[in-house]
Amino acid sequence: MIPVITIDGPTASGKGTIAHQVAQALGWSVLDSGALYRLTALAVQEGGVDPADESAVAGVASQLDARFDGGGIWMAGRDVAVQIRQEPVGNLASRVAAYGPVRQALLARQRAFRQAPGLVADGRDMGTVVFPDAPLKIFLVASAQARASRRCKQLKEKGFSANLASLLQDMQARDARDCSRSHAPLYAAPGAKTIDSSNLTIDATVQAVLDYWSRV
Ligand code: DC
């Protein structure tokens, strides 16, 4: 059985960074599942699809022409890695991620990332739905304030404008939607180890995950 470490948690809790570094330390591959929802949102936006039309959005998700390589995220031959990080895309991603048929359409694609020697998968339902048999499940949290300031810094570094108060507000709305939806809501999988990274450095958080893995 190919091992998987799942890292779930709210938006901007640092899942992506931690997942990449843990994967690098172990020589495993990584699945950024949020990127699939963001790609769906971008394709919906660009295709002029009505975001309220659940089956049309699910159609977009099932036909997504997406490819991940190195740092690049490609959609229909274009690198859209930077574009999908923008807040309007993230907010739309959170909306379309609430649709059951969209989640279903992306399920097999996510499971296909499970390849030897192992996978680190980050998202909201990696431990609860996509890889329920993962031998190590991490629930990575951080205070809303810590997450909003991290996201603000990240956006500014990428050259986007950002406002802390509105980011905090968007983040709380997105958390509420991700946690309260009926399909695969965000919660800690049974047996998950919770790590609060509010006051931890990236290195310390990566080490905490690796320590848990060494004890599995
Ligand atoms: O992790 P992220 O911010 O890139 O995710 C974008 C949105 O996608 C998030 O608001 C909720 C959704 N998502 C999800 O529902 N399930 C996942 N496994 C990953 C992301």
Taking alpha carbons only, the member of 148, 137, 196 closest to residue 172 is: 148
Nearest-CA residue for ligand 1 atom 20 is 34
pLDDT of residue 155: 85
Cβ(125) – ligand 1 distance below 6 Å: yes
Q: Where are the domains of the chain?
A: 4-210
Report the nearest-CA residue for atom 7 of ligand 1. 94
The torsion defined by the Cα of 5, 171, 182 and 196, in degrees rounded to 10, comes to 40
pLDDT at 184: 85
Ligand 1 atom closest to Cα of residue 16: 1
Q: What kind of fold does domain 4-210 have according to CATH?
A: Rossmann fold (3.40.50)
Q: What is the pTM for the complete model shown?
A: 0.92
pLDDT tens track for 162-182: 999 999 998 898 889 888 888
Cβ of 14 closer than 6 Å to ligand 1, yes or no, is no
For the ranges 3-12, 137-146, 169-178, the lowest mean pLDDT is seen at: 169-178
113 lines ligand 1 (CB under 6 A): no
pLDDT tens digits, 57-73: 999 999 999 999 877 99
Strands (E), the chain: 4-8, 29-32, 66-69, 72-75, 78-79, 119-123, 136-141, 193-196
User: What would the two tokens of residue 75 be?
Assistant: 């959609």
Asked whether the predicted pLDDT for residue 158 surpasses 90, the reply is: no
